[in-house]
Amino acid sequence: KNQVEQSPQSLIILEGKNCTLQCNYTVSPFSNLRWYKQDTGRGPVSLTIMTFSENTKSNGRYTATLDADTKQSSLHITASQLSDSASYICVVSAGYGNNRLAFGKGNQVVVIP
Amino acid sequence: DAGITQSPRHKVTETGTPVTLRCHQTENHRYMYWYRQDPGHGLRLIHYSYGVKDTDKGEVSDGYSVSRSKTEDFLLTLESATSSQTSVYFCAISEGGAVTEAFFGQGTRLTVV
């Protein structure tokens, strides 16, 4: 069964600090890996999409890495802001298109002043 | 939110009643999806559509049906609502292609009492 595991489940960080979120997956076949940000009461919004040939991709203060050999990904948030408080969801695509997406349960991040 | 409107945004209904949720897009994307999001689970695919009148089941399709009579509208029907269908429902859209971003609506919170 395709699985996506994220850690830590939740964390609290001080505004201005950095943090790193982890994602391990057992999805086959592998097409691509995405990170989404979901604010409370809103739908997920895409941050990055990486195929197996890409090992890093940035979107502003968000940097995602991918190691397809070890089936691990991370999302690094630099100089956190209060608006970064959200759930970050790792999603792995198991094939062509978007009908074979395996979703993690999310990393809940709370940024405090 | 990428031109996606879900309605209603909130609904409370009684067990055994039929319920229809609507997803409307203005992006002319070919693919549309219905997901549910529950505590302790990642998003799970209910049904998806790859064109007008073309639909297929996802991993949690029991108790749900869908229809797509126009490119812009995708309806999700709970034929006889049960308490286990209390959830937040998200519609998503995407264009075709191997690596294509999925855009999510704002969600519908459904409570079955």
Average pLDDT over every residue of B90-109: 91
Name the one residue in this structure whose structure tokens are 């397809």.
Answer: A68
Does B42 have pLDDT greater than 80?
Answer: yes
> Which residues does chain A have within 8 Å of residue B48's beta carbon, measured at their own beta carbons?
98-99
Does residue B8 have a cis bond before it (omega within 30 degrees)?
yes
Share of chain B above pLDDT 70, in %: 98
- Report how far residue A92's alpha carbon sits from residue A30's, in angstroms, rounded to the nearest whole number: 7
Helix (H, G, I), strand (E, B) or coil at A4: strand
**pLDDT value for B112:** 98
Query: pLDDT band for position B2 (50/70/90)?
Result: low
**pLDDT value for B54:** 95
Per-residue buried b or exposed e for B34-67, using 16+ beta carbons within 10 Å of the residue's own CB:
bbbbeeeebbbbbbbbeeeeebeebebbeebbbe
User: In 3D, which of B70, B66, B88, B92 has the Cα closest to residue B78?
Assistant: B66
- Report how far residue A77's alpha carbon sits from residue A20's, in angstroms, rounded to the nearest whole number: 6
**pLDDT value for A14:** 98
Task: Give the closest of B43, B99, B104 to A49, CB-based.
Answer: B99
Does A97 have pLDDT greater than 80?
Answer: no
> What value does the mean pLDDT of chain A take?
95
**pLDDT value for B1:** 55
Tally the C-alpha atoms within 13 A of residue B24's C-alpha that lie toward its C-beta: 7
Tens-place pLDDT, residues B46-94: 999 999 999 999 999 999 999 999 999 999 999 999 999 999 999 999 9
> Which residues does chain B have within 8 Å of residue A49's beta carbon, measured at their own beta carbons?
99, 101
Tens-place pLDDT, residues A28-79: 889 999 999 999 999 999 999 999 899 999 999 999 999 999 999 999 999 9
> Which residues does chain A have within 8 Å of residue B100's beta carbon, measured at their own beta carbons?
97-98
Residues 6+ apart with CB under 8 A from B92: A43, A98, B4, B32, B33, B35, B102, B103, B104, B105
Query: Which segments within A1-113 are labelled E, that is strand?
Result: 3-7, 10-14, 19-26, 32-38, 45-51, 56-59, 62-67, 72-77, 86-93, 101-103, 107-112
- Report how far residue A49's alpha carbon sits from residue A58's, in angstroms, rounded to the nearest whole number: 10
How open is the CA angle A75-B108-A101, to the nearest 5 degrees?
A: 40
Mutate to test the interface with A, among B45, B99, B101 (most CBs of A within 10 A): B99
| Residue in chain B nearest A97 by alpha carbon | B98
Mutate to test the interface with A, among B29, B41, B43, B49 (most CBs of A within 10 A): B43
- Report how far residue A54's alpha carbon sits from residue A32's, in angstroms, rounded to the nearest whole number: 9
